[in-house]
Amino acid sequence: MWIFNRTDASSNPFREAPFVYITQVSYMAQAQSWTPYPHFHTDEYECTLVLRGNGMLNLPGCREPLTVGTIVFIPPGVAHFYQMEAEDPLEHVAIRFRPFPGGSDLEQLSADGQVRLVQTEQPELYRRMFEMMEPLFRSSGGTVDREIQILCLLFLDTARREFSERGRIVPTYTPEYANDILVYLQKNIGRKVTLQELAEHFSLSQSHLSRVFLKTYHISPINYLIYSRMRQAQVYILQDDLPPAEIARRLAYHNTWHFTKAFEQFFHCRPEDYRAFVAQNENRD
């Protein structure tokens, strides 16, 4: 696994349309602990390429099979997650970006807010592009610099042509209140939330709320709340260097023990060992 996500004004020489601002490039050789959970990007587009394996793209109200050479284009605000089939690793690369003022051809590709898929006719070309990125990651420590920008823009522009020529729209279905529930859970990770409270807040029965949320996002509301807390716990550990007791308090766990157990079930290591766990996986991959 490697991730380019360090950016600053000097690292990006391409700062206006028709270019785009690359915010993150990630390579996953296998499913990570957070991949079977829905998430969306408020103002970022995502373009993903499957390099090896088979899996499933889970979208609001539908699922799409993924095979080698599948390219996915996801606009902002669409919840999604990737799922591997059985024990078959789903090796994939994802690029997230924002258009500059004035727009770009990529932004226009999804002006209707729809997800698009295409089966590439040149998978080896893309694979070579991303193979060039790994040594750059090792030397730059994950900085989105000129070389990474050039490779990403080349991939995105080549993929754009394939989408325009042969891409297809994936119809999704998101009841308005289902998205409201998802956002509500994200915003309330810092306090105790129960299914009963959710149902009362949205004037729905508990069974109906659970059924609609599960059908839309392929996960229960409470499990999604746990996921959201664990993703925030990552930030508290890696960026803020907070101790487990303080993280437990901020994420509304009864005590440090309950938080630690939840963290271990999700990441398969203790919170205090997570930094070393991340470094070990980066070096192994």
| Region of 224 on the Ramachandran plot (φ > 0 left; ψ -120 to 50 alpha; else beta) | alpha
Looking at the chain, which runs of residues are DSSP E strands? 2-4, 20-28, 45-52, 55-59, 62-66, 70-74, 81-84, 91-99, 115-119, 168-170
pLDDT digits (tens, 9 = 90+) for 206-253: 999 999 999 999 999 999 999 999 999 999 998 899 999 999 999 999
Q: Structure tokens of 282?
A: 């980066």
CA pair distance 93, 275, nearest whole angstrom: 23
The domains spanning 2-170 and 176-284 adopt the same CATH topology: no
Let me know: does 34 contact 227? Beta carbons within 8 Å.
yes
Let me know: does 214 contact 178? Beta carbons within 8 Å.
no
Q: Where are the domains of the chain?
A: 2-170, 176-284
Verify cis geometry, omega within 30 degrees of 0, for the bond prior to 18. Answer: yes
pLDDT digits (tens, 9 = 90+) for 56-115: 999 999 999 999 999 999 999 899 988 877 667 788 999 999 998 888 888 888 778 899
- Give this prediction's pTM: 0.84
Q: Which CATH superfamily is domain 2-170 in?
A: Regulatory protein AraC (2.60.120.280)
CA pair distance 234, 225, nearest whole angstrom: 15
CATH number belonging to the domain at 176-284, selected among 1.10.10.60, 2.40.50.100, 3.40.50.1010, 1.10.630.10: 1.10.10.60
Q: Count CA within 13 A, CB hemisphere, residue 245.
A: 0
Q: Is 39 strand, coil or helix?
A: strand
pLDDT class for 285, splitting at 50, 70, 90?
A: very low
Q: What are phi and psi of 227, to 5 degrees?
A: -55, -45
User: Rounded to whole angstroms, what are the CA distances from 2 to 21, 49, 209, 284?
Assistant: 19, 15, 37, 10
What pLDDT does residue 247 have? 96
